[in-house]
Amino acid sequence: MTLQDLVVPTYVQMLGALTNWLSKAETQRPDGEAEPLLAARLAPDMFPLATQVRFACRQAQEGVFRLTAQAFPASLQALLDEGRNAGEHPGSLADAQARIAETIGVVEAVAAEGSWIDPAAPIVHALPNGMTLDLTAERYARDWALPQFYFHVVAAYSIIRAQGVELGKADYAAHMIGFFRPPAA
C-alpha cells in the first residue's frame, strides 16, 4: 500500500462523512437552529465545532502537501487562523461545508498531480510548542497525520451528537455499507 492509497481515501471519505453530519444537523434543526452548533464544545477548554471542522480540513491538506514534498500554500495558514478564531467567529454551516468541499478538492488535486515521497524518506515536523518530530514519511502518515485528522473528525462527530443530532455508527462508517453482506440463513 502506498502513502497515497492510505491517506487520500481516508481523508476524502471522512470529510464526506463530516459533510453528511452537518447536513443531518441542518435537516434535524431547520430554520437556522443548527447554526449554534458551530459554537458548541465538548468541554470548556476544547475548541468548538467550527474549529474542529477547520482543523480537520487543515490536517488533511497539510498531510498531502507534506507527503508530496510541496510547500504549504498561504491558504493553509489562513485556514489555521480561521480555525483558531472560530470561537469568536464560527461562521455559518455553509462556510463549514465550503471548507470541507474545498479541502476534498485540494486533497484530490494534490493526489492526482503530486509525486509522493518515499515512505522511508525523513520528515521533520516542527510543532507550535517548539518540539520537533523526526519521522519517516510512513510513520508520519500512520502515527501522526491520520491520528491528528481523526482526532478533529471524531471531536466534531461527538459535539454534533452531544448536541442531540441523531447520528450513529452507520453515519460514522457510511463508507463501509457497500461491504456488508446479509448473515447466512
Among 50, 137, 55, 64, smallest CA distance to 95 is for 50
The verdict on pTM exceeding 0.75 is yes
* Nearest CA among 67, 60, 58, 62 for reference residue 115: 67
Q: What is the pLDDT of residue 183?
A: 87
C-alpha closest to that of 94 among 174, 166, 26 = 26
Report which residue type is found at 13.
Q
**Cα distance between residue 91 and residue 108, in whole Å:** 25
Round to whole Å and give the CA distance between 180 and 185.
15
For the chain, the domain total comes to: 1
Q: What are the tens digits of pLDDT across the range 41-85?
A: 999 999 999 999 999 999 999 999 999 999 999 999 999 999 999
Residue 82: domain span: 3-179
The answer to the question of residue 184 being in a domain is no
Here the CATH number for the domain that contains residue 53 is 1.20.120.450
For the stretch 122-173, pLDDT in tens is: 999 998 899 999 999 999 999 999 999 999 999 999 999 999 999 999 899 9
To which residue does cell 476524502 refer? 12
